Amino acid sequence: MPGLTSHDQNFKNLIVDYSYQALEFFAAAEAEGLDHQVRITPIRQEQLKNRLGDRFRELDVPLMVEWPDGRREALLFVLEEQTDPRRFSIHRVAHYCLDLAELYDTDRGVPVVIFLHEARGLPETLMLGGDRFTYLTFHYLKCELASLDANDYLYSQNLVARLNLPNMRWAEEQKVDIYAQAIRGLFTLEPDPEKQLKYLDFIDIYTALDDNQMHQYQERYPQEKSKMVGLTERLLNEGRQDVLLRLLTRRFGPLDPTTEQRLQQASSEELERWTDNILDAQTLDEVFTRH
């Protein structure tokens, strides 16, 4: 498992890219009534300061959930990722929520704290009061990833859950299979190649296979390995296509549809050869015919 370093940005990206599924997974108790007709918007992350000398209080990702048909009032979710439980402060989270409630003039908010590691013994309720009355009660939804059993989510259709399989609890001998199920979930549930590549990094970071384990993975799961290789080659080809398209357009003017289609269907070897040919070719035809 990764060391106790900050992973805020990883989870910010994850929550913004997959807001609905993030709420469904991290805040299941309040997300039960959500459907895909809701509008989920990441909102201002830094609250206004009362004085210029004040420190900002920053949130990981505040999300405003709205029902366009008006059947429910807007609901503000306040998600805070906590890498190191020793640095957690329930007072800080309460401040976050009160600041946002005032800023957006709402009393409908759901605080959610995502603990990457075990978070035992931390306060889950804050109560302020005197001898006779309690004047403020605050608590939050807690998602402690390391306490979740990965076996319960191996075949989940929630992509956020599948990507977080490495962060859950599993036996050491399961490590390669956990990695494989996370990869399989990514390729099954995310059709966008750019996001597939992006979240391959997420899975790699939190699984951290060594060379021997990666070799085991490639032997046990050749189909997933093939998909990963194919994805890399596809994105490299697309990059080569973009570069070659720009070079050809700059050298010979706008390209006809037939030439553009030829570029899209070309192999990596052809794209590399044609790029080299641009240096000496005098005409567009020579780019494709020179060897």
The ranges assigned to domains in the chain are 8-147, 236-289
Which DSSP state fits 164? T
Record the tokens describing residue 31, joined without a space: 């997300």
Is the distance from CB of 93 to CB of 111 less than 8 angstroms?
A: yes
36-84 pLDDT, tens digit per residue, is 889 999 986 544 444 444 444 445 789 999 999 888 899 999 999 998 8
Specify the pLDDT at position 48.
Answer: 41
Q: Is the pLDDT of residue 251 over 90?
A: no
83-129 pLDDT, tens digit per residue, is 889 999 999 999 989 999 999 999 999 999 999 999 999 999 999 99
Angstrom distance (rounded) from CA 102 to CA 110 = 14
Angstrom distance (rounded) from CA 13 to CA 24 = 16
Specify the pLDDT at position 291.
Answer: 66
CA-closest candidate to residue 28, choices 190, 138, 142: 142
Specify the pLDDT at position 1.
Answer: 43
Burial of 202 by CB count in 10 Å (0-12 exposed, 13-18 middle, 19+ buried)?
buried
Burial of 142 by CB count in 10 Å (0-12 exposed, 13-18 middle, 19+ buried)?
middle
Q: Does an H or E element contain 233, and which?
A: helix 222-252
CA distances from 57 to 51, 93, 154, 163, 265 (A): 13, 9, 36, 28, 51
- 220 C-beta neighbours (distance < 10 Å), count: 12
Q: Spell 111-141 as b/e; 16+ CB within 10 A means b.
A: bbbbbbbebeebeeeeeeeeeeeeeeebebb
Instruction: Name, in order, each residue with C-beta under 8 angstroms of 218's C-beta and a sequence gap of 6 or more.
Output: 225
Record the tokens describing residue 241, joined without a space: 């296509």
Record the tokens describing residue 202, joined without a space: 């997420």
